[in-house]
Structure 1
Amino acid sequence: MLSQKCVVAAGPKPYLSHMRWILTLFTFCLPVPVLAHPHVFIDTGLEFIVDDAGNLTHVRVTWAYDELYSLFELEDRKLDQDGDGILSESEQAFLAGFDAQWIEGYNGDLVVRADGQIIPLSGPMEPTATTDNGRIVSTHLRAVEGEPVAAAALSAKAFDETYYTAYEVTRPVTVSSNLTCQIERTDPDIDGQLAQMRAFLLTLDANYDLGENDIPLVGESFATEIRVSCPST
């Protein structure tokens, strides 16, 4: 049985005001097609599972969706019909995996690196879903694929590069291992990144053609970095 040796408490209050300000920038500075661009906020938690040899074997991901998205999702699926924000066991079983039907090539909006190299991870396994104060909370497990990966210098970021979805690591980050591991987090320079984005957007004009130009991929710039270090044996 693996024991939890390291826990990082939830981070600071989500940067919702910053993110909504970003959306306002896009709304006023970019052409009409961007106005229809949907947006979802997800509070994220991570569990790194490390074996006795000091190798990362799995990552378990928790996603807690914002209230509005959760409401729409539950209504569309005709769940929580009594409106008490609590799902029955059968409803939880029905909802489990609703966000685990990934298209080929999708990275799960999670990038984990070891010594700077991206670690290949499996698709989602063992999906669960429930509700917490009206918010959908789901989990899924991903296995490390290929050669064993030492957990001596891991780095992880949860982000959607297009900012379709905004992830914030506000739920616990843990390491499950018999080893004593260290966890550090580095939060992004929100103000600095916003200033850069604003400067870019102000360079655009009404003739900016989204068909020929890509919106800058800013998701990683707003992502918290989690670093994990476990001793090898």
Structure 2
Amino acid sequence: MPSCFRVIGRCLAVGLLSLGVPLGAQAHPHGWIDLSVRLILDDQGRVEALHQRWRMDPFYSLVLLEELGRAEGDEPMEARLDQLGLEIRDTLATQGYFTELSRDGEPLALGEVSEYTVMERGGRVEFIFLLPLAEPRPLGEATLRYQVFDPTYYIEVVHEADDRAPREDALVVASAYDCETRILPADPDPAKVAQAARLDITDEAPDGLGRYFAETGEIQCRF
């Protein structure tokens, strides 16, 4: 059973190299995740959780599924995907689930993920999970912002898009309240772009580089 997620990244590198794909000259990132987010509000207008769906890029999904298929044992693929989900969850827990959340600039503490699943759909591996806040927080008229990113920018995380524009269902609010949402594109400093371009597969990116390339989701509701 593949036991990594590096957090997704190193597995991807090893898998591609095993297929004879030359990576040494490639710059970061080495793969991507298509992201969808659903904000969960309770009946008091408090923020409870972010429901996230991550769709691994097609090539990395192929590598993962082939590795799972070659793993020793007679477990069905569904059980192997379940085990992979556990490993992904446990690894991401040490990385803050790649997620930063704030209310009018004030960071909000996140809880632990207990609801998650991994599945294959349309040839792509999907990791779906419910990321709760440490405790529900009132939103009021404040603006909620989040970013989801790999700190090392080994993997790029982008919202689901059509024709390079985020899809309407890439960020939604699960509530009866009147809420507005928008997804702001990343606007990295040219120096950060150049820094990322100089990194190849053998380099360790400085922790936090991914933040400069992260899209920002914004939600504001009227109660």
Instruction: Using structure 1 for the length normalisation, give the TM-score.
Output: 0.66
Supply the AA of the counterpart residue of 1:221: Y
103 and 220 in structure 1: CA distance in 2 versus 1, 3 angstrom threshold: closer
Pairing 1:186–2:191 present:
no
Pairing 1:155–2:155 present:
no
97 and 55 in structure 1: CA distance in 2 versus 1, 3 angstrom threshold: same
CA contact (8 A) 1:186 1:224 kept: yes
CA contact (8 A) 1:157 1:225 kept: yes
Q: Secondary structure, in 3 states, of the residue corresponding to 1:163?
A: coil
How many angstroms apart in 1 are the aligned matches of 2:185 and 2:155?
Answer: 18
Query: What's the CA shift for 1:68?
Result: 2.1
Supply the AA of the counterpart residue of 1:58: A
CA contact (8 A) 1:43 1:64 kept: yes
224 and 230 in structure 1: CA distance in 2 versus 1, 3 angstrom threshold: same
Supply the AA of the counterpart residue of 1:183: T
Q: Secondary structure, in 3 states, of the residue corresponding to 1:72?
A: helix
The residue aligned with 1:231 is 222
Structure of higher CA gyration radius: 1
199 and 128 in structure 1: CA distance in 2 versus 1, 3 angstrom threshold: closer
CA contact (8 A) 1:46 1:61 kept: yes
The residue aligned with 2:114 is 125
Listed as ranges, the matches of 1:48-197 within 5 Å are 48-78=39-69, 93=82, 95-102=84-91, 105-146=94-135, 148-150=137-139, 152-170=142-160, 172-189=170-187, 193=189, 195-197=190-192
How many residues of Structure 1 are paired with residues of Structure 2 in the alignment? 183
How many angstroms apart in 1 are the aligned matches of 2:69 and 2:196?
Answer: 41
36 and 221 in structure 1: CA distance in 2 versus 1, 3 angstrom threshold: closer
How big is the alpha-carbon RMSD for the aligned residues of Structure 1 and Structure 2? 3.3
138 and 200 in structure 1: CA distance in 2 versus 1, 3 angstrom threshold: closer
106 and 155 in structure 1: CA distance in 2 versus 1, 3 angstrom threshold: same
Instruction: Using structure 2 for the length normalisation, give the TM-score.
Output: 0.68
User: Percent same amino acid at aligned positions?
Assistant: 23
Q: Secondary structure, in 3 states, of the residue corresponding to 1:100?
A: helix
- Residue of structure 2 aligned with 1:40, choices 17, 31, 51: 31
Unmatched segments (≥5 aa) in structure 2 = 1-22, 71-75, 162-169
CA contact (8 A) 1:50 1:57 kept: yes
Query: What's the CA shift for 1:72?
Result: 2.0
- Whose strand fraction is larger, Structure 1's or Structure 2's? 2
Deviation per residue, 1:91-131 (Å, 9 max, x gap): 65555434212366421111111110111111222111222
Unmatched segments (≥5 aa) in structure 1 = 1-25, 29-34, 80-86, 205-209
**Larger RCO, structure (CA 8 Å, separation 6 or more):** 1
Query: What's the CA shift for 1:231?
Result: 2.5
CA contact (8 A) 1:52 1:179 kept: no
188 and 59 in structure 1: CA distance in 2 versus 1, 3 angstrom threshold: same
Deviation per residue, 1:113-156 (Å, 9 max, x gap): 11101111112221112222211011010111136242631001
Query: What's the CA shift for 1:198?
Result: 5.3
182 and 158 in structure 1: CA distance in 2 versus 1, 3 angstrom threshold: same
Supply the AA of the counterpart residue of 1:229: Q
